[in-house]
Structure 1
Amino acid sequence: MGDGSAAVALSGSPIAVVIAARNEAPRLPLLLADLAAAPQLVGEILVVDGASDDATARVAALAGAAVQASSPGRGRQLALGVASTESPWLLLLHADARLEPGWDRAVRVALGLPDAAWYFDLAIAAAQPALRLVELAVALRSRWRQLPYGDQGLLVPRRLLARAGGVAPIPLMEDLELVLRLRHFSQLRPLGARLQVDGRRWQALGVWQTALANAQLRRSWRRGIPPEALAARYYGSAVRERRRG
Structure 2
Amino acid sequence: MTNISAKYKTLQKDEVHSAMPDDDVVVSVIVPVLHENGVAAALGAHLLHVSCGIPFELIIVCAENYCGENSGKPDTLSCNTKTESGAGCSGSFASGAVCAGGRQGHGDVEFCAGKPQTANAVLTSSVRSIVISAPKGRARQMNAGAAAAKGAYLLFLHADTRLPQQAFTFMAEALERVKAGAFGLSIEDDGLYFRFVERIADVRNRLTRTPYGDQAQFFRTDFFHALNGYADIPIMEDVDIMRRIRRGGHAVEILKNRVATSARRWHKEGRLYCSVRNVCLRTLYALGVSPHSLSRWYRAHRG
| Structure having the larger proportion of residues in helix | 1
Q: Answer yes or no: is 1:82 the counterpart of 2:146.
A: yes
> Judging changes above 3 Å, is the alpha-carbon distance between structure 1 residues 50 and 237 closer, same or farther for their aligned structure 2 residues?
farther
Paired letter, 1:188: V
Structure 1 position 39, deviation (Å):
7.1
The corresponding residue for 1:56 is 75
> Judging changes above 3 Å, is the alpha-carbon distance between structure 1 residues 215 and 75 closer, same or farther for their aligned structure 2 residues?
same
Q: How far apart are the structure 2 equivalents of 1:228 and 1:75?
A: 13
> Judging changes above 3 Å, is the alpha-carbon distance between structure 1 residues 71 and 163 closer, same or farther for their aligned structure 2 residues?
closer
Would you say the 8 A contact 1:48–1:67 is kept in 2? yes
Q: How far apart are the structure 1 equivalents of 2:229 and 2:218?
A: 13
Q: How far apart are the structure 2 equivalents of 1:164 and 1:185?
A: 13
Please give the residue correspondences for 1:185-224 in structure 2 after superposition, counting only pairs within 5 Å: 185-224=249-288
> Judging changes above 3 Å, is the alpha-carbon distance between structure 1 residues 23 and 172 closer, same or farther for their aligned structure 2 residues?
farther
Greater Cα shift, 141-150 or 62-71: 62-71
Which of 161, 170, 184 is the matching residue for 1:106?
A: 170
Structure 1 position 129, deviation (Å):
0.7
Paired letter, 2:141: Q
Larger RCO, structures 1/2 (Cα 8 Å, 6+ apart): 1
Please give the residue correspondences for 1:217-232 in structure 2 after superposition, counting only pairs within 5 Å: 217-232=281-296
How big is each residue's C-alpha offset from its partner over 1:9-66, in whole Å with a ceiling of 9 and x where there is no partner?
7454311111112544454433322212327324321011125463232235563531
Q: Answer yes or no: is 1:145 the counterpart of 2:208.
A: yes
Structure 1 position 81, deviation (Å):
0.9
Q: What is the RMSD computed on CA atoms of the aligned residues?
A: 2.5
Please give the residue correspondences for 1:5-84 in structure 2 after superposition, counting only pairs within 5 Å: 5-6=1-2, 8=4, 10=7, 12-37=24-49, 38=51, 40-51=53-64, 52=66, 54-58=73-77, 59=79, 61=109, 63=111, 64=127, 65-84=129-148
Q: How far apart are the structure 2 equivalents of 1:237 and 1:28?
A: 30
Q: How far apart are the structure 1 equivalents of 2:299 and 2:222?
A: 32
Greater Cα shift, 60-69 or 89-98: 60-69
How big is each residue's C-alpha offset from its partner over 1:186-220, in whole Å with a ceiling of 9 and x where there is no partner?
21112332111111111122222111101122233
Structure 1 position 77, deviation (Å):
0.7
Would you say the 8 A contact 2:4–2:172 is kept in 1? no
TM-score by length of structure 2 reads 0.69
Would you say the 8 A contact 2:139–2:231 is kept in 1? yes
Would you say the 8 A contact 2:110–2:130 is kept in 1? no
The corresponding residue for 2:120 is none
How big is each residue's C-alpha offset from its partner over 1:122-167, in whole Å with a ceiling of 9 and x where there is no partner?
1111222111011111112112321111110111101222333321
Paired letter, 2:243: L
Please list every run of 5 or more consecutive structure 2 residues that lacks an aligned counterpart in the other structure. Answer: 9-23, 81-108, 112-126
Q: How far apart are the structure 1 equivalents of 2:25 and 2:262?
A: 28
The corresponding residue for 2:19 is none
| Structure having the larger proportion of residues in strand | 1
Q: How far apart are the structure 1 equivalents of 2:181 and 2:145?
A: 19
State how many pairs are aligned.
Answer: 234
> Judging changes above 3 Å, is the alpha-carbon distance between structure 1 residues 69 and 109 closer, same or farther for their aligned structure 2 residues?
same
Greater Cα radius of gyration, structure 1 or 2? 2
